[in-house]
Amino acid sequence: MQQQLANILAEATAAAPAIAARPDFEAFKARVAGPNGTLTAAMKSMAAVPKADKPAAGKLLNQTKGELEKLFAATLARVEQNEIAARLGPPIDPSLPSPDDEAGSLHPLTQVREEVCGVFRKLGFTVADGPEIETEWFCFDALNTPASHPARDMQDTLFFPAATRCPDAPKHASEAYLLRSHTSSVQIRTMLKQPPPVRIVAPGRCFRRDTADATHSANFHQIEGLWADKNVTLRDLKSILDFFVREMFGSSAQIRLRPSFFPFTEPSFEMDLKSPNLGRLSDRWLEIMGCGLVNPKVFENVGIDPAQWTGLAFGVGLERIAMLLHGIDDIRHFYANDLRFLRQFASAV
Ligand code: PHE
């Protein structure tokens, strides 16, 4: 028995270094520990060991098993390293100069995002952030959007399966995780972290169950704005938005606020833009963002006293702004990574 076990261990130890791929590893392990393996045979032969020798033989068997398990684990770790290395391909040195003569450039959406944030920075806004995977509470309930609201319908919002767990975002009771359908959830996250006065813009990726066409994409970007302070009025909203469109679209750009409805603002508006610099779209009012004064219910939901604090909020589609600014007629150009499209924006950096 002793000799048998020593041989098994010696053979396995000698064979292990040559094993590089997973099928070889599986075969190697089966030769030892599989149903017809050498170790399995040794275990079976325990029955024939005289009773007096059994404790010593059993101890030795367990020791050998332990050694072999260590050997398997180390061999498998090496095989996995090989697999990762094969997937990564030959090593590259990212510090080497690019083989292209041209320097890279920022994506047009990144450029427009920075431009928009820059305009709001001039007005004292800072940039805030929030997760793309949200819970129903942050995306809807806290924003005063009741369970029956159509925005919560499966048609519009991309929900995760009920069993999904996301340890970074604790859930309230039985709510589901979803891909945020707007950046308004960052209003909630910001106000929970920091009491007013708050003045933030939050650019970010949003998701809806839209079929892609020239003006829709299931993945798009918004920039959210929130200003919560004492005595914030509609006049503040109008003047901020006036400033924004003039900075972005030129000093002769005009805005108009049309009454609308959002559960998290009251009153709510759609903001339309008209600018003589927009080519064939110059003669029209173009709807570009939703906005309004923060609904007192939203303040209550985040523990802020609505008798003391007021606020304004707005949400604008980044693609929409970029398309108008650059005369782009199909939203899908932004995501196609076609260099002929992207290179047209290289000089702007
Ligand atoms: N979240 C709204 C949307 O996605 C836009 C909005 C933001 C409206 C803030 C009002 C205030 O359509």
Both structure tokens of 248: 């972005």
Strands of the chain (E only): list them: 126-127, 133-135, 158-159, 177-179, 198-207, 219-229, 254-262, 265-274, 286-294, 310-317
Both structure tokens of 307: 């008798």
Q: Please identify every stretch of the chain with a pLDDT value under 50, giving residue numbers as ranges.
A: 349
Looking at domain 108-348, what is its CATH homologous superfamily?
Answer: Bira Bifunctional Protein; Domain 2 (3.30.930.10)
Residue closest via CA to ligand 1's atom 12 equals 290
Task: State residue 103's pLDDT score.
Answer: 72
Tell me if 237 CB under 6 Å of ligand 1.
no
Tell me if 201 CB under 6 Å of ligand 1.
no
pLDDT digits (tens, 9 = 90+) for 149-172: 876 776 688 998 877 777 666 667
CB 262 within 8 A of CB 292: yes
Task: State residue 237's pLDDT score.
Answer: 98
Backbone torsions φ then ψ of 210, nearest 5 degrees: -105, 145
Report the separation in Å between the CA atom of 265 and the middle of ligand 1, taken as the mean of its atom positions. 8
Q: Which residues pair with 221 in a beta bridge?
A: 205
Report the separation in Å between the CA atom of 125 and the middle of ligand 1, taken as the mean of its atom positions. 18
Report the separation in Å between the CA atom of 16 and the middle of ligand 1, taken as the mean of its atom positions. 62
Tell me if 292 CB under 6 Å of ligand 1.
yes
Tell me if 291 CB under 6 Å of ligand 1.
yes
Task: State residue 106's pLDDT score.
Answer: 93
Task: Please choose, from the candidates 153, 119, 113, the residue with its C-alpha nearest in 3D space to the C-alpha of residue 136.
Answer: 153
Report the separation in Å between the CA atom of 314 and the middle of ligand 1, taken as the mean of its atom positions. 6
Q: Please tell me the distance from the alpha carbon of residue 171 to that of residue 205, in angstroms, as a whole number.
A: 21
Tell me if 315 CB under 6 Å of ligand 1.
yes
Tell me if 255 CB under 6 Å of ligand 1.
no
3-state secondary structure of 205: strand
pLDDT digits (tens, 9 = 90+) for 133-145: 999 999 999 999 9
Atom number of ligand 1 nearest to Cα 291:
10
Tell me if 265 CB under 6 Å of ligand 1.
yes
pTM beyond 0.75:
no
Atom number of ligand 1 nearest to Cα 222:
4
Backbone torsions φ then ψ of 181, nearest 5 degrees: -90, -10
Atom number of ligand 1 nearest to Cα 268:
10
Task: State residue 154's pLDDT score.
Answer: 66
